[in-house]
Amino acid sequence: MEKSLVILKPDCMEKRVMGKVVTRLERAGLNIVDCKVMHLDKKMLSEHYAHLVHFPFFPEIEDFMGSRPVIAMIIEGNNAVSRIRTLLGPTDSQQALPGTIRGDFGTDKMLNIAHASDSKEAAEAEIQRFFGKK
């Protein structure tokens, strides 16, 4: 059993497709073990996206991710980290195949519906950051 942190981003909320995204995770046999609505502030975003803060497009990501409340979830299941990333598809929604969450609902590189931890270590740090627990 493994845990991953998933964030349903502002474009997911605006397009009202959270139910469809959650259904795909559930159909894959994954369980939601915690969930909350959050409005992400600049401090949280600069920690969460620390690997991107030096890019010129970071202010855009900050504006987008802080534009409305999002849903943060802890998802649990066998190989949850890699399986959720596969269900999502690549970062750029235009490159994501039909049948993937980003391929079906995303718009572009930034508006790509959901975040999911990219490693077990990242999942642990993100679960601690967003939920204050292991």
Measured from the CB atom, the residue of 29 and 57 that comes closer to ligand ADP is: 57
Q: How far is the CB of 19 from ligand ADP (least distance, A)?
A: 21
- 130 within 8 A of 5, measured Cβ to Cβ: yes
Measured from the CB atom, the residue of 5 and 30 that comes closer to ligand ADP is: 5
Measured from the CB atom, the residue of 20 and 85 that comes closer to ligand ADP is: 85
The two tokens of residue 124 are: 């642990």
Q: How far is the CB of 23 from ligand ADP (least distance, A)?
A: 21
- The answer to whether 115 is a known catalytic residue is yes
Q: How far is the CB of 121 from ligand ADP (least distance, A)?
A: 14
Measured from the CB atom, the residue of 22 and 114 that comes closer to ligand ADP is: 114
Dihedral, 21, 13, 88, 46 alpha carbons, nearest 10: -140
Which member of 39, 48, 51, 115 is catalytic? 115
Q: How far is the CB of 55 from ligand ADP (least distance, A)?
A: 7
* Amino acid making up residue 80: A
* Amino acid making up residue 12: C
Residues at the site binding ligand ADP, with contacts judged by CB under 6 A: 49, 52, 57, 61, 91, 109-110, 112, 115, 118
Residue 76 burial (CB < 10 Å; 0-12/13-18/19+)?
Answer: middle
Nearest to 2 by CA among 34, 22, 30: 30
- 66 within 8 A of 125, measured Cβ to Cβ: no
Active site amino acids: 115
